[in-house]
Amino acid sequence: MAKRRTSLIKVDTEAVQGEDSWVKVRRLTVGEQRDFMHKIKSKEIDTFEIGVQLLKQNVHSWDWVNDDGEPLAQPFEDPSVIELLTDDEVVLLGKAIRGTDTEELKNSESKSPSSSG
């Protein structure tokens, strides 16, 4: 019997948070991506705001730190932590939830969401 792979994937984030850093995200469904594009085209909502909303809903956990090296709150516990991120971090997360630029993102399908980290 078929079983869908976990909806959470672990993505390498060395490019924005340093060696061995990671984030777990839920990829958008086709319907969510279509709704996102519709809202952008219809100017129903500001593009930046819809992007922030999607990150708050789909970034689950990470081992990220702030500029002082202090751990950031886990997004599934405090979605507002997304507002503390840099542009580069937000761009990487946006690519991760959309499943784009896979060469850069290194989707780690062999690791379950409950694996180390």
Q: What is the reported pLDDT for 113?
A: 42
Instruction: Give per-residue pLDDT as tens, 2-38.
Output: 766 667 899 999 999 999 999 999 988 888 888 888 8
Residue 113 lies in a domain: no
Instruction: Give per-residue pLDDT as tens, 89-101.
Output: 999 999 998 887 5
The pTM is what?
0.75
Per the structure, the complete domain to which residue 87 belongs is given by 23-105
Separation of alpha carbons 38 and 30, rounded Å: 12
Total structural domains within the chain: 1
Type of residue numbered 54: L
What 3-state class would DSSP assign to 82? helix
Q: What is the reported pLDDT for 88?
A: 96
Residue 17 lies in a domain: no
Residue 48 lies in a domain: yes
